[in-house]
Amino acid sequence: MMQTVARVLCALVVLGVSVAAAARPTIEELKSRKVLDDYEANVVYGYNIVTDTSRYAARYVGNRLQCSNCHLQAGTKPHAIPLDVEGLYPKWRSKNGVRNGLGLRIRECFLYSMNGIMPPEEAPEVQAVSAYIHYLSEGQVIGRLPPGARVPMVPETGEDPNPARGETVYHRICAACHGPDGHGTAAAPPLWGPESYNAGAGMNDVRKAAGFIWANMPVGNENSLSPQEALDVAAFLHLQIRPADPRDGRLRKLMERLVHRVSELFGATQ
């Protein structure tokens, strides 16, 4: 009997030690190691891509943003679209029965948020970001939205977002860092213009942008805007000129072809 108890205790101690040993090393720790296994090397590479995208994933990037300009603190800040979301993928859309995997989600942010080229699923950059997201997601429950996921919903104000008021908020609060022309400064990335996210990006959705701004801007004085100010300034950003939604081009071409065909037919009957 005593022996069994001792054995169980012993097993518990061993278990405890191995759990402690398995605790997630920090990125700094990983970087300081002389030898990394394939997974760990990809985690570090993925971290580098997220924080220095234009350098480590240059061939797929079309603007001056880094993933971590929106996925703040390298994707670890709650309410700033944190990246510990592997447990939410794949998502099944009953609409089309298509599996929306994590890889696709990463590739979409290259296409829209980074106004770049969609990398193939098997690109080393996509694999590395997936490894980093896996690392951040350790301990999350599969299928359960992690606390602080995405951005908060700005409370209903009973008033529509008003871009004219938003412009005043912009020049009073945001322009100091993002520039009076919104094209960014040394202190902050661009919010519109050729070096910003394109019109198909999640940040171009007024409610999502308002939630992000409300919880995370201005840096150093977060949560200081009223819900209405956040909505207004998001509506103002939405009206600014930025790269077009890449899907528009295809749709427009299709429409043009259709119009061409119809007018051809029309011409033929005359």
213 closest CA partner among 103, 10, 72, 75 = 72
**238, two tokens:** 């939405």
Nearer to ligand HEC, 171 or 252 (CB): 171
The correct pick among 43, 44, 70, 123 for binding ligand HEC (CB under 6 A) is: 70
- Of all helices (H) and strands (E), which one includes residue 162? none
Residue 112 is given by DSSP the state T
For position 201 contacting ligand HEC by CB under 6 A, the verdict is yes
Nearer to ligand HEC, 30 or 177 (CB): 177
Nearer to ligand HEC, 8 or 239 (CB): 239
CB of 220 to ligand HEC, least distance (A): 5
The mark string for 121-160 relative to ligand HEC (x by CB under 6 A, - otherwise) is: --------x-------------------xxx---------
The mark string for 87-116 relative to ligand HEC (x by CB under 6 A, - otherwise) is: -x----------------xx--xx--xx--
109 closest CA partner among 37, 181, 173, 201 = 201
CA distance 142 to 66: 28
The correct pick among 42, 48, 68, 198 for binding ligand HEC (CB under 6 A) is: 68
Beta strands in 65-140 (DSSP E): 91-93, 98-100
Nearer to ligand HEC, 93 or 257 (CB): 93
CA distance 82 to 111: 19
The interface with ligand HEC within residues 15-34 (CB under 6 A) comprises none
Cβ atoms of 91 and 103 within 8 Å: the answer is no
For position 215 contacting ligand HEC by CB under 6 A, the verdict is no
Piece of 13-21, 60-68, 152-160, 245-253 that binds ligand HEC (CB under 6 A): 60-68
210: exposed, middle or buried (C-beta count within 10 Å: 0-12, 13-18, 19+)?
buried
Count of residues interacting with ligand HEC (CB under 6 A):
47
CB of 152 to ligand HEC, least distance (A): 10
CA distance 141 to 139: 7
The interface with ligand HEC within residues 161-190 (CB under 6 A) comprises 173-174, 176-178, 187-190
Distances, alpha carbon 24 to alpha carbons 27, 29, 197, 238, 240, in Å: 9, 10, 33, 39, 42
CA distance 197 to 120: 20
CA distance 165 to 182: 16
- Who contacts 157 (Cβ-Cβ below 8 Å, separation ≥6)? 227, 228, 231
For position 239 contacting ligand HEC by CB under 6 A, the verdict is no
Question: By the criterion CB under 6 A, which residues form the site for ligand HEC?
Answer: 50, 53, 65, 67-72, 81, 83, 85, 88, 105-106, 109-110, 113-114, 129, 149-151, 173-174, 176-178, 187-191, 197, 201-203, 208-209, 212-213, 217-220, 225, 233
